[in-house]
């Protein structure tokens, strides 16, 4: 049975993430890596990031390009409490009550102060995903989330898809690469049965402009059949629906 698509709202406590990344000899924080991971879980329909953006100007352009709403937060208040924490919590709770169709909330931070927010969202039936730096995330927060993703793990390579060089015409290679990335994403999400429609939906979330016809295929099934013919994937036909199920990659000999 095909699962319904999840809808996600992402809230980024950027100061916490930036401080967690400082002095760690790693590339600048890559929001695209975060979004690529989240679209594997569903459709991200709300994206907000909170910071005193005058301190993080080099990140504004990539965040704008990712269609993330930048919420300008002044410096810490006289009480020492981060205003971004308060504004983020208020916005998340407001959205929780106002938009019932959003079933998954993503809190990008490692700050334990967000643990009560996580609890309140879960009380209201929301699935909560946390994402933060491994070395600076509070166990109180990570343990309270339904799921926690460490940013460092996003920078590690997954198991490698089949090599297509020489087997696929250059103009069709982007379609095959996207197909393989989407299959890997679904396996990572513990999907046991990769329905062809599920694979295509994941491809569309990763690249909304994707269309198999742009690569010369009359249908998505034709693309899958070509990938099987070239020895990359294995297909089977579901006896009830008559549609394809992607069994997995063909092991290279």
Number of domains in the chain: 2
Within 8 A by CB and 6+ apart from 108, the residues are 10, 11, 12, 13, 14, 17, 34, 49, 130, 131, 132
Same domain, 117 and 213: no
Helix (H, G, I), strand (E, B) or coil at 47: strand
Lowest mean pLDDT among 18-27, 57-66, 242-251: 18-27
Lowest mean pLDDT among 88-92, 126-130, 165-169: 165-169
Using the structure block, give the residue that is written with the tokens 């809808």: 7
How many other C-beta atoms lie within 10 A of the C-beta of residue 159? 8
What does the pLDDT look like over 141-151, one tens digit per residue? Answer: 999 999 999 88
Average pLDDT over residues 28-38: 90
Q: Is residue 159 part of a domain?
A: no
Q: What angle do CA 143, 148, 149 make, to 5 degrees?
A: 150
Same domain, 35 and 116: yes
Q: Is residue 30 part of a domain?
A: yes
DSSP string, 90-133: HHHHHHHHH-TT--EEEEE---GGGHHHHHHHHHTT-EEEEEE-
Same domain, 77 and 114: yes
Same domain, 107 and 80: yes
Same domain, 80 and 142: yes
Q: Is residue 92 part of a domain?
A: yes
pLDDT for 149 equals: 92
Q: Is the pLDDT of residue 1 over 50?
A: no
pLDDT for 134 equals: 85
Whole-number percent of the chain with pLDDT over 90: 64
Same domain, 76 and 40: yes
Structural domain boundaries enclosing 138: 7-154
Q: Is the pLDDT of residue 193 over 60?
A: yes
Q: Is the pTM of this model over 0.95?
A: no
Q: Which ranges constitute the DSSP H helices of the chain?
A: 14-21, 31-38, 60-65, 83-98, 115-123, 139-144, 151-154, 173-188, 196-206, 220-229
**Domain limit, last residue, from 125, 154, 183:** 154
Q: Is residue 49 part of a domain?
A: yes
Q: Is residue 203 part of a domain?
A: yes
CA neighbours closer than 13 Å in the CB half-sphere of residue 229:
7
Same domain, 13 and 123: yes
CA separation for the pair 59, 150 (Å, rounded): 20
Beta strand pairing call for 104-108 and 127-132: parallel
**Domain limit, last residue, from 154, 182, 207:** 154
Select the more confidently predicted residue: 116 or 136: 116
């Amino acid at each position: 049975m095909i699962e319904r698509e999840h809808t996600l709202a992402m809230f980024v406590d950027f100061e916490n993430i930036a401080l967690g990344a400082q002095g760690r000899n790693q590339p600048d924080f890559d929001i695209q890596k975060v979004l690529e991971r989240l679209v594997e879980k569903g459709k991200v329909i709300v994206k907000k990031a909170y910071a005193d953006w005058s301190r993080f100007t080099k990140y504004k352009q990539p965040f704008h390009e990712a269609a993330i709403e930048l919420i300008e937060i002044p410096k810490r208040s006289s009480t020492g409490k981060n205003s971004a924490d308060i504004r983020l919590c208020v916005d998340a709770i407001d959205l929780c009550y106002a938009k019932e169709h959003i079933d998954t909330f993503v809190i990008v931070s490692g700050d334990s102060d967000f643990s009560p927010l996580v609890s309140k969202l879960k009380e209201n039936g929301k699935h909560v995903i946390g994402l933060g730096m491994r070395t600076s995330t509070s166990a109180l927060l990570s343990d309270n989330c339904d799921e926690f993703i460490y940013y460092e793990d996003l920078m590690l390579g997954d198991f490698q898809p089949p090599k297509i060089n020489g087997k696929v015409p250059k103009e069709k290679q982007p379609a095959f690469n996207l197909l393989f990335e989407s299959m890997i994403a679904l396996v990572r999400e513990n999907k046991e049965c990769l329905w062809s429609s599920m694979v295509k939906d994941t491809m569309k979330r990763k690249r909304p402009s994707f269309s198999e016809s742009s690569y010369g295929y009359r249908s998505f099934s034709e693309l899958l059949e070509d990938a099987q013919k070239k020895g990359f994937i294995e297909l089977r036909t579901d006896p009830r629906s008559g549609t394809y199920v992607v069994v997995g990659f063909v092991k290279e000999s």
